[in-house]
Amino acid sequence: MKEKLRPYHNSLLIVASILLLVISYQLSFKKTIEAWQLNRKFKTQVTGMTLNSQPAYLERQDRILRSVIHTYQIDTVNYKNSMAMEVAEVGDKEHVRIVEVPMKSGISDNHYLVQKIVLKGDFFDLLKTLNHLHQLNRIGYIRSVSLKKLRQLDRSKTSNDLNLEIYTAIIK
**Domain co-membership, 136 together with 84:** yes
**Domain co-membership, 142 together with 163:** yes
Exposure letters 80-113 (e unless 16+ CB within 10 A, then b): beebeeebeebbeebebeeeeeeeebeeeeeebb
**Domain co-membership, 91 together with 156:** yes
Structure confidence by residue, pLDDT tens digits, 89-133: 898 998 899 988 877 766 777 778 888 899 999 899 999 999 999
**Domain co-membership, 111 together with 146:** yes
Domain that holds residue 27: 2-70
User: What DSSP string runs through 108-148?
Assistant: E-SSEEEEEEEEEE-HHHHHHHHHHHHH-STT-EEEEEEEE
**Domain co-membership, 120 together with 145:** yes
Average pLDDT rounded to a whole number, residues 121-148: 89
Q: In sequence order, which ranges of the chain are alpha helices (DSSP H)?
A: 2-5, 9-24, 30-47, 55-72, 79-93, 123-135
Average pLDDT rounded to a whole number, residues 68-90: 80
Least confident window among 82-91, 127-136, 147-156: 147-156
**Domain co-membership, 94 together with 163:** yes
pLDDT at residue 156 greater than cutoff 70:
no
